[in-house]
Amino acid sequence: MPLRGTKIGRVLRQRRDDAAIAWTFFRQWLKAPLTTAAVSPSSRELAAEMLSQLPEGAAKVIELGGGTGVFTEALLTRGIAPENLLVFELNESLHLHLTQRFPSTRIVCADALSTARVVEREKFAQPGEVDAIVSGLGLLSMSQELQHGILEAAFSVLAPHGRFIQFTYGPTNPVKRDVMRDLHLSAKRTGFTVWNVPPAAVYVITRSRSRGIRPTRAK
């Protein structure tokens, strides 16, 4: 009996796709272990936890560190229109993988430090129009200076009540205290999933109510 189109066939096809994606990610980790956040792609459970923290009615979303597309797929499935999703991936091989997997989505090979410049270049949004940023970046291993630059760029394009949604493998907020203080940000741990390798916690970072980062045009 042919399996194509049956439930078993779909499951087998999904497993083959997952295995291919995992191998693609692992090869990139072998090439650059210090710049790849993990040895395996994020799980669908982690993606669901991350997306549960999107603001109600979120339309324009940026993804930092698209990887193999686990979060990208989840965002599109959730209903974020391809034209309202901007994905950053600095690794050239993973960027090529993403463009082939999601041909209708805008995917740029760029550094997260250039978020504001890319948003303006791509005419994706005006400063302060982005509802959320979903981040797969390995902030935990980054220097304070690099964290500061990435968060400052991110919040320059986020709406006043926009959210920076980040996962981490560490026990606490991956953004250093000095960065949080300097940029007037606050963080809340919103979830944890053991169905990820390794287990991961989700943090939502927002502007403090007392003061925020004023949106600026890219130079």
- What domains can you pick out in the chain, each with its CATH number? 7-207 (3.40.50.150)
According to the model, what pLDDT value does residue 28 have? Answer: 45
Determine if residue 42 is left, alpha or beta; phi over 0 gives left, psi from -120 to 50 gives alpha, anything else beta: beta
According to the model, what pLDDT value does residue 76 have? Answer: 97
pTM of the model: 0.79
pLDDT in tens, the chain (219 residues): 455 556 554 544 545 544 444 444 444 443 544 444 544 456 788 999 999 999 999 999 999 999 889 999 999 999 999 999 999 999 998 999 999 999 999 999 999 999 999 999 999 999 999 999 999 999 998 999 999 999 999 999 999 999 999 999 888 999 999 999 999 999 999 988 876 767 889 999 999 975 555 555 555
According to the model, what pLDDT value does residue 199 have? Answer: 87
Residues near 15 by beta carbon (within 8 Å), at least 6 away in sequence = none
**Separation between Cα atoms, residue 170 and residue 148, nearest integer Å:** 19
According to the model, what pLDDT value does residue 43 have? Answer: 78
Terminal-to-terminal C-alpha distance of the chain:
62
For residues 75 and 176, is the Cβ–Cβ distance under 8 A?
Answer: no
- Edge-to-edge, what's the strand order for the sheet holding 85-88? 106-108, 85-88, 61-64, 130-135, 158-168, 200-207, 185-193
**Separation between Cα atoms, residue 165 and residue 202, nearest integer Å:** 7
According to the model, what pLDDT value does residue 193 have? Answer: 86
**Separation between Cα atoms, residue 85 and residue 82, nearest integer Å:** 5
